[in-house]
Amino acid sequence: MKLSTTLLATSALTAAAVAAHAQDMADDMTLVSWGGAYQESQNKAYLQPYLEEHPEVSASWDESSAEAVAKLRAMNEAGNITWDLVDVVASDALRLCDEGLAMELDFNEVLAEGDDGSTPEEDFGDLLINDCFVPQIVYSTTFGYRTDMVGDTPPSSVCDVFDLETYPGKRALQKRPIDNMEWALYCDGVEKDEIYDVLGTDEGVDRALAKLDTIKDQVVWWTAGAETPQLLADGEVVMGSTFNGRLFSAIAEQDQPIDMLWDMQSFDLDGWIIPEGLPEDRLARVLDFLKFATDTQRLADQAKYISYGPARNSSAPLVGQHAELGIDMAPHMPTDPANATNVHLYDYEWWADNRDDLDAKFQSWLAQ
């Protein structure tokens, strides 16, 4: 009797303490990411260290980033936001911010300073593409090829993708106009800095599609990033585009006869947004986590698990070796100077404007 009273009193006290604490910061977080190796790298580099510091917090992952834009809109309309922090690519972040579904942030206030003393806005630099998006990594969409199927002269330029005579066989390309149209124009002789001007005209679109037409019946179109490594491993395609981290794991972790073609790799960003309309206690928690998870050391740590470049300038010198394989990660980063001699900077704003239009044309071309 006495014991149970004591227990009751204690638990009531604990409950009261928890309740008091909850007014400042919630103890639950739902993080949304892409699943797979990428989410695991975030888990190891950001979340586990944070949970060690804050044992009262519990967090869960939701692997819904691919549908994040649609789901966030549905949640917003229903007035019930169940996510706290969402990992999205830059183009989705632009859309979410425009639609008012992502919260605007004052970066200098909510993010940690760089280890070298720079302000967050200086440290992230141009990668801050709008007021909502906190970038974590720079990744690229680039090509991989089968070393045993290309003869003695491996491809060295992105235009080799369009060269069916020297490199016969199928190619894997992503089933969307972004990147493919730019590569096609570049290989049709358009200067790199004029690509978007040309693509902005009807003739330019026709020109890009005509160039793609030359390889159309040799293309396997993919929608999920895992398809290309699989197609390469099966020998279904000679070369194919995908995210560089996928190719890294096929090459370094699975020892497939595949090599990277870094020429005209298309840089893209991945990062966090906070959904608009979180209650104050959850917002306080998520801001606390965000500050921790995007500091210099944490971003550099992530590169131990996956070959994507940290978005902070101050993180680059701290990039070390792969946690399990023990190989230096720097040469596998898309941002490594040796890999980044000729890169394509994908223009989010231009695509935000023209995506609907070009997608209709691209799909119509595909269906013919």
Partner 1 sequence: MSHPATDPDKIIGTTPDNALRNADRADARADGPVLAADGTPLKRSLARALRAQKLRALALIAPLLIFVLVSFIAPIGDMLFRSVENQIVKDTLPRTVVALRDYDAASTELPRDEVFEAAYYDIFYAAERKIHTRLGSRLNYEMSGASSLFRKSGRGLDDVGELYQDQFEALNEGWDEAGPWVEIMADPEWVTEQAAWDAAPEGRMPRFELREGIAEILPRTSEAYETFARFTQVEEGDSPLEEEPWSAVHTALYQDLSATDLSGYSGPRADMLQAADALVESDGFETVAFRDAFAEVDEDWVEPEIWQTIKMYSPAYTSGYFLNSIDMQKTADGPALRDADERIYGLLFWRTLFMSLVITFSCILLGYPIAYLLSNLPSGKANLLMILVLLPFWTSLLVRTSAWKVMLQQQGVINDVLVWLGMVSDDGRLVMINNQFGTIVAMTHILLPFMILPMFSVMSTIPVSYTRAAKSLGATNWTAFWRVYFPQSVPGIGAGSILVFILSIGYYITPEIVGGTSGIFISNRIAYHISSSLNWGLAAALGSILLVVVLILYWAYDRIVGIDNVKLGG
Residues 103, 89: Cα–Cα separation, whole Å? 16
Residues 335, 319: Cα–Cα separation, whole Å? 12
Q: How far is the CB of 80 from partner 1 (least distance, A)?
A: 15
Number of residues that bind partner 1 (CB under 8 A): 35
Count of all residues that appear for the chain in the document: 368
- DSSP readout, 189-204? T--GGGHHHHHTSHHH
Question: Does 352 sit near partner 1 (CB under 8 A)?
Answer: yes
Q: How crowded is residue 345: how many other Cβ atoms within 10 Å of its Cβ? A: 14
Single out the residue of 28, 63, 67, 106 in contact with partner 1 (rule: CB under 8 A).
Answer: 67
Single out the residue of 99, 121, 148, 191 in contact with partner 1 (rule: CB under 8 A).
Answer: 99
Give me the amino acid identity at 23: Q
Structure-token pair, residue 191: 């200067």
Q: Is 139 helix (H, G, I), strand (E, B) or coil?
A: strand
Question: Does 95 sit near partner 1 (CB under 8 A)?
Answer: yes
Q: How far is the CB of 201 from partner 1 (least distance, A)?
A: 12
Residues 289, 298: Cα–Cα separation, whole Å? 11
The conformation of residue 318, written as its DSSP 8-state character, comes to: G
Structure-token pair, residue 325: 């394989």
Q: Which is nearer to partner 1, 1 or 367 (CB)?
A: 367
Question: What sign has the CA pseudo-torsion 274, 278, 282, 284?
Answer: positive
Q: Which of residues 215-234 bind partner 1 (CB under 8 A)?
A: 220-221, 223, 234
Using CB under 8 A, which of the segments 279-287, 296-304, 319-327, 350-358 binds partner 1? 350-358
Q: How far is the CB of 237 from partner 1 (least distance, A)?
A: 9
Q: How crowded is residue 166: how many other Cβ atoms within 10 Å of its Cβ? A: 10
- Measured in degrees and rounded to the nearest 5, phi and psi for residue 362 equal -65, -45
Single out the residue of 236, 281, 288, 336 in contact with partner 1 (rule: CB under 8 A).
Answer: 236
Q: Which is nearer to partner 1, 59 or 269 (CB)?
A: 269
Q: How far is the CB of 356 from partner 1 (least distance, A)?
A: 5
- Burial state string for 60-96 with b = 16 or more CB within 10 A and e = fewer than 16: ebbebbbebbebbeebbeeeebebbbbbbbbbbbbbb
Using CB under 8 A, which of the segments 2-10, 105-113, 326-334, 358-366 binds partner 1? 358-366
Q: How crowded is residue 140: how many other Cβ atoms within 10 Å of its Cβ? A: 28
Q: Which is nearer to partner 1, 144 or 334 (CB)?
A: 144
Q: Which is nearer to partner 1, 114 or 240 (CB)?
A: 240
Q: How far is the CB of 149 from partner 1 (least distance, A)?
A: 11
Single out the residue of 15, 17, 70, 327 in contact with partner 1 (rule: CB under 8 A).
Answer: 70
Residues 290, 230: Cα–Cα separation, whole Å? 34
Question: Does 357 sit near partner 1 (CB under 8 A)?
Answer: yes
Distance of CA 322 to the CA centre of its chain: 19
Q: Which of residues 145-184 bind partner 1 (CB under 8 A)?
A: 170, 175
Single out the residue of 41, 180, 294, 354 in contact with partner 1 (rule: CB under 8 A).
Answer: 354
Question: Does 347 sit near partner 1 (CB under 8 A)?
Answer: no
Q: Which is nearer to partner 1, 64 or 265 (CB)?
A: 64
Question: Does 194 sit near partner 1 (CB under 8 A)?
Answer: no
Residues 110, 347: Cα–Cα separation, whole Å? 27
CB 249 within 8 A of CB 40: no
Single out the residue of 63, 104, 106, 191 in contact with partner 1 (rule: CB under 8 A).
Answer: 104
Q: Which is nearer to partner 1, 67 or 121 (CB)?
A: 67
User: Which residues in this chain contact partner 1 in the complex, by CB under 8 A?
Assistant: 66-67, 69-70, 73, 95, 97-100, 104, 170, 175, 206, 220-221, 223, 234-236, 349, 352-357, 359-361, 363-367
